[in-house]
Structure 1
C-alpha cells in the first residue's frame, strides 16, 4: 500500500481524475444555479427587450407612413384641370405620379399608394394611373370595392389603419396572385388638401422590417390602434376580451397581466397611442422537483467518480512503467507522465519538421524552375541547365497541353478567402488519373502541365474539365467563379512552355463576352473587331451624370454593354470600353470627390472589378456604381450664365416639359426679350424653332422604335395635345406622324 501511495504515476492519474470530478461538480452547480426558473426569467427579459425593439421598428414604420401622407398632401397638384374646361391636365398627373413614386421608392413595405379626388374619376398610384374602379375592382380585388372607398371618403373620418386582408392582385400580364395587405387611410376631419389618400401596406414585409424572429418560440404579438381595434397579430386566434379593462396604461406606458397559461405584457406607444401586446407562455411547472433531481444527480456523480478514480489509478500504473522502459528511461522516479510526454513530443516534432522541410524545398524548387521556364527572356547558362534538368520531371509523354485555372471570389458571403494550399489540393483532385503537374502562379491563377500520348486525349480533357469545374463551383469552391483556358497541343520541349503559356493567357483576354462555358478552348477562338462605342451617347451620359439623372445614366450604360454583347466582342475589348467611359466620366468629378483619396480608391476598385470580371453584368454594375459616385460629387456648369453649351444641354434634358421662352430666360437669369435676341444671334434660328426641332427629333425615334400612340408621343415630347403635335410635325417634315410611322415600318 505504501508503494502505491508514494508512486507519482498513480498520484498523477488520481489527481487528473479528481480534476475532472471538480469540473463536473462546477458544471452541475452552474446548471443547478441556472435552473429552469432562472433561465425562464432571462428568456422573458430578453424577449421583452426584443419586443421593445420591434415596437420601435413598428413606430418608425407608422411614422414613415404618416410622413408620406403629409408629403403627398403637400404636393402642389390640388387642381388637375387644364386650361380647357372639363379636361384633366395629364402633364400634372404624370408629374404627380412621378413624385409619389419617388416618395415611396425607399420604403419596401409599401405595396402602392392610391390618390384620388372627389371631382375626378381618376386614381393616381405609384405604379401608374387609371380609374378608381379599375384599381379596386380589378387590380386590387377584395371585399372593399371602389364605391365603398368613395362613400367612406365623403364622410368625416379620422386616420385609420385597416387590418390585413387578402387581395387578389392583377399584374400587367393578367396574372393574379394573393397578398395580405393592410390599408392606411388618411383622415379627412381636417382637410389639408383635396386629395384622398390610401396606402397599401404589405403585411409580410412590414413584419419582416420589424424582425419578428427575435421573439421566443411560442410568443406572439398583437397591435391595437388608438380605438383598441386589432390591426396586426401574429397569433391566428387573438383573444383579449376583457383584458384591456383590467389594466391602466396612461402613466406607466407598460403593464402586465397573467391569464391561464400565458403572460400578457402591454406597451403603449408614445408616438401614436397604439397598444402593443406581447403574449408569452407562463412559467414552467414542477420547478422544485427538477431542482431536487439536480442535487441528487450531483451527489451521486461525485461519489461514483471518486471510487472509479481510485480503481483506474491502480490499474494504469503498470502500463505507464512499461512505456517509460521502451523510451529508454528504465526504472525512474519522478513525474512519469511528464517524461513520457516530453519524449514523444520531441520525437514527433523532429519528424514533422524534417518532412515539412523536404516537402517545401522540393515543391518550391519545382515551382521556381517552372515559372522561370515561362519567362520569354533569355537566362544564364547555369539557369538554362537547371531548367533542362527538370525537363523529365515535367514531360512524361511526347506532347502536352497547358491548362490555366482562373479563380475569382464571388462575394464575402462565403466567409474569408480560402488558403492557396487548400485550393491547390481541390484542383489537384480534378487532375487525378492524369499525367499532370500543377503549380500556383499568382492572383488565384494555377497552371497545369498535362502530358498526352494522342491528339484525341485533348477532347476528352475538355469534357472532363467542363464537368469537374461546374461541380467544384457548386461544392468545394462554392465561393468562387472558375474558368480554365486549355492551350493548343505542343511537343514536349522546354522551349514550347513559354508559347503554351502565351496561348492560355490570351484565352482570358480574347474570350467572347458571351462565353458561357467555364472551359475555354484556344483552338476555337474567333477574333472579332466590331466594337461599339457611341460617342454621341457617351456625351449625353456625361450630361446626365452632371445633372444627376441616374435613370438615363443606367440606360445608356446598359445599352452600350448589351450592344457589344450582341456583337460578341472579346472580353479585353469590353474592358477597354468600360475604362474609357469611366475616365470620360471622371473629368466631371469635383474637387471634393477626392477627399481622403476616395476618387483614387474608386478608380482602383473599378479597375480590379473590370479586369477580374467573368461576365458583362459585373462590368455593367461597376460602371453604374462609379457613375453614382461621380454624379454625387460632380461639378455641373452654372445654369445662370448665358452659355451656349449649357443652354443646349438644358433644352436636351427638359424638352418634354412646358419650356416657354419666359421659363428658359428665368433659368439663364435674363429677360425673355434679351434671351430671344441672344439665342437667335448664337444659334442662327429662333428659340421656338430650335425647341421644336429637338422635340420632333425625339418624336421620330419614338414613332420608329415604340408602340406609343401619336397622342402619347406628343405628350412625352412636350406638346399639350395631339393636334398641336401633328400640325408642327407636318410643318417641319411635310408628312403626318401616322404616315411617317407607316413609311418606317415597311
Structure 2
C-alpha cells in the first residue's frame, strides 16, 4: 500500500475534522431551509390565511356577544314579569318582607348560571330598598358600602330612572367593590333597563364584570395586534380591547350593505365592520394589514440569506481545522480514544459527569435536611431515649443554634382556595420562610413538621431581641400572604425565650403549640405571643338547644339546624373562647348530627370519610367562621342521608319530636294517638311506660320550658306568652306555671331580670 493511501485512510479513520466541518455545515443547511420556509410563507400567503382565520374568530366572538346581550335582555324582562309591582302590604302599608325574599330568590336563580353578571339591583321609585341576588339593603348603602363610584351613586340612578330611557349598556368603569377583607378595584359595565314603556314599577340595573365577559366571548381567538370595538345602537363605544380606539371620522365613512358588513383601510390598519342582527350594535375589528414595500423586503431577505451562507461555509472550514486537535485532547481527558465519533464521546462524558455531580449534590442536600429534621423531632419527643443516644444528639446540636438564646416560631399555613390553586411544595415554602427570617437574624433554621406546620429556630443575642422580633413578625406575615406566599393565610405562634440548650427544645415546642391551641377565636393578630395568652373556660353549650338541633336534623329542618349551629358558635365567639375549646364544641355538635345518618350512608364508609374530613378542617381552621362553615356543610351532607322514621310513628323519637314541634297547638291525647296510629288508651299506657310520666305532664313541661325562655328573653305580656305556648288563656297558664315552679310567671320574670 502506498504511503499516500495510508495517510488518506488514517485521515478518514480519525474523523474529527470531518465531523466538525459536517456538523457546522449541517447547522448552516438547517438554518437556510428554515429561513427559506419562513420567508416563503411569511411573504407569500401567511397573512391572508391568518386574516381569514381572524374573520371567522371575530364572527364567533360577535355571536357570543349577541348571546350575552340576549341573556341580559331576557333577565331584565323576566324580572319585570315577576309579581309584586309594589312591595307594600295591603293591610298596613309596610314593606312585605315575604315579597322581598321571594323576589331575591327569583333574582338569584336567574343569575346563578351567568358567570359574567356581577350583580342585579332592583329598586322602586318611592322605596329606599335595593334587592340583589344575595340580599337587601338601602340603595344608598349599596353604592356607598358595596359598589363605590364617583358618578354612579344613588342620586345618579334615581335621576336616571325618572327620565324616559331605552335599554342602555354603559361602558366599563372602575368600581371599588367591597370584599370580606378589603376593597377590590374591578371594571364593571352597566346595563340599565329601559323605561320608555313601563312594563312594571321596578327599576333594574345589571352590573357586568368586563373581564369575565371578555373571557366568555374568548377574545384570545383574535390574531396578535388585532382588537375589537363594540358600539351601541347610538354608535357610542361601550367596550374596546384597544387602549387607543380613536374612531374619529372612521364610522362616518362606512355604508352598511344588506349583508350587514363593511370594510375600510386607513393608515396601517384595516377596519372590518359587522352589524348585529339582534340589537343593532356595531362591532369593529381593527386588524393590521400587509405593508406596501414587500418587494424591497423580499430583495433584502434574499441578499441577507446569500451572504450568510457564503460567510458560514468559510467559517465552517476554518473552525473545523482549528478545533480538530483540541477536541482530541478533550476526549483523552474524559477517558476515551480519539477514533470514531468525537462529538458523541465528548457529549456523553460531559453529561455523565454532570448527572453524577447533580445527583451527589441533591443527595447531600436531602441528607442534611432530613438529619436536621430528625434531630429536631427526637429532641422534642417527650419520651426518654438511651443515654448514648442523648450524647449523639448533644454532639449534633451545636450545628443548630449558635446564639446564646433562641425562640421557636411555629408557622401554620392554610391554603385559601384548595380546589383552584396548585399547592406549593413544602421545600419551597421552607426556603421562603428561611429567606425572610434571615433578614431579621443570621441564626435561623426552618424545619417542616407536618400538615403545613413549619418550626423555625431564631437565635438571639439578648432577651430584649424577642420584643423587636414580635413587632417585625406581624409585618413579615402580612408581606408573605401578599407577595412570597400568595394563596395562603399565614399565622405564627412565638414561644417564650429560652437558653440555647438541647433540653429546652421540647419546652419551646410545647410553648409554641400551646399558642396555636389556646389562641382566642377572635384573635385579630396573625402573630400569637404565648406570654400574653389569657386562659378562660367561659363556654356556652345549651343542652336544650343542642337537643333541638338533633330533632331538627331528624325531621329534615336544615334551616333551623343551621340557625342553632350559628347561634351556638357565635355566642362562644363573643365570649372569646380558645380555639381548641371551640373545636371541642363543634366536634360534640357534629356527633349529635351524626346520630341521624342512615345505615345506608355508613355501608360504604361515607360517614367515616365525612368525619375524617371534618375533624381535619376543625383542627386546622383559621378562625371560628371556618369552623362554622365546616359544621354547616357537614349538616347539609348528613341531612341528605337522615334516617326516615315516619313508617313507624309509635316510637319515642317521633313522639318527642312531634310534641317539640307542635306544643303550641291544642295537642289533645286523642289527636296525637291518631297521628301515632293507635288508640288513646293504648297510647296513654305506652307513653307512661316509655317516658315515665303521663302525657299531660310531659306536654306541660315542654310548654313551660319554652315559656320560661320567652319570659326571660322577650317583652311579651303574660297572656301572649301563654297563648304562644299552647294555653287557652292567661289564667290557665298562670295556674299551671305556679303548680310546677311554685311561683307565678310574673315573679319568675322579675327574678330573672334582676339577675
Q: Look up the match of 1:25.
A: 36
Q: Does 1:214 align with 2:218?
A: yes
Question: CA-to-partner distance for each residue in 1:360-409, whole Å, 9 max, x for gaps?
Answer: 33443343233222222233444333223213333545544333332222
Cα distance, 1:545 vs structure 2: 4.7
Cα distance, 1:579 vs structure 2: 1.5
TM-score (norm 2): 0.69
> Aligned pair in 2 of structure 1 residues 744, 492: CA closer, same or farther (>3 Å)?
closer
Cα distance, 1:571 vs structure 2: 1.1
Deviates more, 1:28-37 or 1:637-646: 637-646
Q: Look up the match of 1:475.
A: 483
Between the aligned partners of 2:211 and 2:205, the Cα distance in structure 1 is: 10
Q: Look up the match of 2:613.
A: 605
Aligned pairs for 1:659-670 within 5 A: none
Deviates more, 1:48-57 or 1:522-531: 48-57
Between the aligned partners of 1:450 and 1:128, the Cα distance in structure 2 is: 51
Q: Does 1:202 align with 2:202?
A: no
TM-score (norm 1): 0.70
Aligned pairs for 1:275-286 within 5 A: 275=279, 277=281, 279-281=283-285, 285=289
Q: 2:578 pairs with 562, 566, 570, which one?
A: 570
Cα distance, 1:45 vs structure 2: 1.0
Q: 1:10 pairs with 2, 9, 21, which one?
A: 21
Q: Look up the match of 2:178.
A: none
Aligned pairs for 1:55-454 within 5 A: 55-63=66-74, 72=83, 87=91, 93-108=96-111, 111-112=120-121, 141-142=158-159, 145=162, 162-163=167-168, 180=190, 182-183=192-193, 197-205=200-208, 211=214, 214-215=218-219, 218-221=227-230, 247=258, 255-258=259-262, 263-265=272-274, 274-275=278-279, 277=281, 279-281=283-285, 285=289, 287=290, 289=292, 292=295, 295-296=298-299, 298-317=301-320, 320-321=323-324, 323-324=326-327, 326-327=329-330, 329=332, 332=338, 334-394=340-400, 396-412=402-418, 415-432=421-438, 433-454=441-462
Unaligned runs of 5+ residues in structure 2 are 1-7, 112-116, 139-153, 172-187, 266-270, 688-693, 736-743
Between the aligned partners of 1:553 and 1:128, the Cα distance in structure 2 is: 23
Q: Does 1:501 align with 2:512?
A: no
Is the CA contact 1:637–1:646 (under 8 Å) kept in the aligned structure 2? no
Q: Look up the match of 2:143.
A: none
Question: CA-to-partner distance for each residue in 1:716-736, whole Å, 9 max, x for gaps?
Answer: 9999xxxxxxx9889978999
Between the aligned partners of 2:722 and 2:24, the Cα distance in structure 1 is: 93
Between the aligned partners of 2:404 and 2:524, the Cα distance in structure 1 is: 32
Cα distance, 1:463 vs structure 2: 3.4
Unaligned runs of 5+ residues in structure 1 are 82-86, 131-136, 150-159, 167-177, 189-195, 248-254, 269-273, 705-709, 720-726
Cα distance, 1:431 vs structure 2: 3.9
> Aligned pair in 2 of structure 1 residues 378, 544: CA closer, same or farther (>3 Å)?
same
> Aligned pair in 2 of structure 1 residues 665, 65: CA closer, same or farther (>3 Å)?
farther
Between the aligned partners of 2:671 and 2:156, the Cα distance in structure 1 is: 44
> Aligned pair in 2 of structure 1 residues 306, 482: CA closer, same or farther (>3 Å)?
same
Cα distance, 1:183 vs structure 2: 2.8
Cα distance, 1:258 vs structure 2: 1.9
Is the CA contact 2:414–2:488 (under 8 Å) kept in the aligned structure 1? yes
Between the aligned partners of 1:582 and 1:571, the Cα distance in structure 2 is: 16
Cα distance, 1:223 vs structure 2: 7.7
Between the aligned partners of 1:685 and 1:437, the Cα distance in structure 2 is: 65
Cα distance, 1:288 vs structure 2: 7.2
SS of equivalent to 1:454 = coil
Is the CA contact 1:163–1:232 (under 8 Å) kept in the aligned structure 2? no
SS of equivalent to 1:455 = coil
Cα distance, 1:609 vs structure 2: 1.7
Aligned pairs for 1:560-599 within 5 A: 560-590=568-598, 597-599=605-607
SS of equivalent to 1:588 = coil
Question: CA-to-partner distance for each residue in 1:211-241, whole Å, 9 max, x for gaps?
Answer: 56635665345788xxxx9999659999999
> Aligned pair in 2 of structure 1 residues 576, 694: CA closer, same or farther (>3 Å)?
closer
Between the aligned partners of 1:376 and 1:69, the Cα distance in structure 2 is: 70
Is the CA contact 2:409–2:455 (under 8 Å) kept in the aligned structure 1? yes
Q: Look up the match of 1:271.
A: none
Cα distance, 1:521 vs structure 2: 2.5
Between the aligned partners of 1:367 and 1:670, the Cα distance in structure 2 is: 65
Q: Look up the match of 1:488.
A: 496
Deviates more, 1:201-210 or 1:403-412: 201-210
Question: How many residues were matched structurally?
Answer: 654
